[in-house]
Structure 1
């Protein structure tokens, strides 16, 4: 999931503050833009772990446009987070699909490093559809 990130330079000091508007309370900072973005990545992972631990739903990412009014004069970044580890324990299910569709899925999985397995591809497609 691609979360928009607010990056703001703190005036008067060598420090950057980061916020994830779609994950209230998820913040980070760092002495440079790179350090700050690395730190917010860790903060997001910790935040999602806590939500998963308490059985809370993972908030959907929205667009930067949804937050422009609340965060003027900042730098916007996007961080792509694989949320599947935070969705709970995996369960095996039986799914019936047309043969041609299975071949197309397998072809895409074999050509893309984004999907490691057929199940991973199907899970990503489901998450994408549910986020609409």
Structure 2
């Protein structure tokens, strides 16, 4: 899942405040943008881990455009980070699914040509997440 992040330079402290607007309270400080982008990935994972432990849902990211005009982020530098949210969705369960043969072949071809999915189950999970985010 792709989350917009904003890096705000705090000149009086000579460091960056990095925030994830779609994950309230998820932020970190860094002395460089590179370090900040690395650190915010860990902060997001830690934050989502705690949310999962409390049974809370993974927040759905809004578009970059929905955040960029907000007063709190004026003058910020924006980036997008991609987070695999699968580990934060809870324990995996095996299910039996019936699909048409040609659809299964298309899915398997997509998995074979794109290492992002790793497995047929990974592809189906990502497709389900994308469809659920539409609502």
- Pick the TM interval, shorter chain: over 0.9
Partner of 1:105: 107
Aligned length: 132
Partner of 2:12: 12
- In structure 2, stretches of 5+ residues that fail to align are none
- In structure 1, stretches of 5+ residues that fail to align are none
TM-score (norm 2): 0.95
Partner of 2:95: 93
Runs of 4+ aligned structure 1 residues displaced above 6 Å come to none
Deviations 1:6-60 (A, max 9, x none): 1111113431110000000000111100001111110000000000000001100
Cα RMSD, aligned residues only: 0.8
Q: Distance in 1 between matches of 2:35 and 2:55?
A: 30
Of 69-78 and 97-106, more deviation after overlay is shown by 69-78
Deviations 1:79-128 (A, max 9, x none): 00000000000000111111000000000101111010000000000001
Q: Distance in 2 between matches of 1:100 and 1:119?
A: 16
Asked whether the 8 Å contact 1:14–1:32 carries over to 2, the reply is no
TM-score (norm 1): 0.97
